């Protein structure tokens, strides 16, 4: 097993006027990485921020925190180089947003960033499967992308279980409505990278929530390895 349990707060739910200090706070509370949601108002019905903000966040937090860019945009090809230059570490694009995933994967790799591939709830995991050998991470959305604070879609868990059974060492991320009450489903299905927005950011004790989420994933991983 080459993957590990990692918790990445989504800062979309934080006070957007204080994004830099919110990123620092999340890292101080034990986050393993930061999940940055980029929305263009076209691929999804909401707008967030782009590479100039990412560049500012990078200067604010320093070189170490890993930035997982969740690119909810219609033309993901357009932002690969700007995001790499701004300090992004992983470029996670949506399979639904491109007609040439193979070329995009190559372009992302050429910048030195890692490659993430996301699917919306209506996209089957079989459509993602042909690319699984070429990516670093698969993101199974557990809400319709666009907004934080939505209800977790448990019916996405068979996608995660299937991916884990087919690709035992792939990083598998879940995103949307994940928190203490839904983490066990994700962990049992085999997700190891956990995005959590409102449950972490709005908590009075984000450190405890992050620790709880990581423990749930680690215990499920241990159980899977004993069962084998
Ligand atoms: O990409 C998205 C939404 O489109 C997510 O990253 C959410 O921002 C996560 O927030 P919660 O659902 O955990 O509150
Ligand atoms: Fe996201």
pLDDT tens readout for residues 158-204? 999 999 999 999 999 999 999 999 999 999 999 999 999 999 999 99
pTM higher than the cut 0.90: yes
- With the most atoms of ligand 1 within 8 angstroms of its CB, the residue from 70, 148, 183, 202 to mutate is 148
Helix or strand (DSSP H, E) at 109 = helix 101-111
Query: What is the three-state SS of 160-193?
Result: HHHHHHHCCCCEEEEECCCCCCCHHHHHHHCCCE
Q: What is the pLDDT of residues 52-70, one digit of tens each?
A: 999 999 999 999 999 999 9
Domains of the chain, by residue range, sit at 6-227
Place of tokens 């830099």: 20
- Superfamily of the domain at 6-227: Aldolase class I (3.20.20.70)
**CB neighbours (10 Å) of residue 21?**
13
Crossing angle of helices 19-28/51-61, nearest 10°?
50
Q: Is 227 a catalytic residue?
A: no
Give the position, in ligand 1's atom list, of the atom nearest the Cα of 39.
4
Mapped onto helix, strand or coil, the DSSP state of residue 146 is coil
């Amino acid at each position: 097993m080459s993957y590990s349990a990692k918790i990445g707060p989504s800062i979309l739910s934080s006070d957007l006027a204080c994004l830099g200090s919110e990123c620092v706070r999340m890292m101080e509370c034990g986050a393993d990485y930061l999940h940055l949601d980029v929305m263009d108002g076209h691929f999804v019905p909401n707008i967030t921020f782009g590479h100039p903000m990412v560049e500012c966040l990078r200067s604010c937090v320093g070189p170490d925190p890993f930035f997982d860019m969740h690119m909810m945009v219609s033309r993901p090809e357009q932002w690969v180089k700007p995001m790499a230059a701004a300090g992004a570490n992983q470029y996670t694009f949506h399979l639904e947003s491109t007609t040439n995933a193979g070329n995009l994967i190559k372009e992302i790799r050429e910048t030195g960033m890692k490659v993430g591939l996301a699917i919306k709830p209506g996209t089957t995991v079989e459509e993602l499967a042909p690319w699984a050998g070429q990516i670093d991470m698969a993101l199974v959305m557990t809400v319709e992308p666009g907004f934080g604070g939505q209800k977790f879609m448990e019916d996405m868990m068979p996608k995660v279980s299937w991916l884990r059974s087919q690709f035992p060492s792939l990083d598998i991320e879940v995103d949307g409505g994940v928190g203490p009450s839904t983490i066990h489903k994700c962990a049992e299905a085999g997700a190891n990278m956990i995005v959590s927005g409102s449950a972490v950011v709005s908590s009075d004790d984000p450190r405890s929530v992050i620790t709880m989420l990581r423990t749930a994933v680690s215990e499920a991983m241990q159980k899977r390895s004993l069962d084998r």
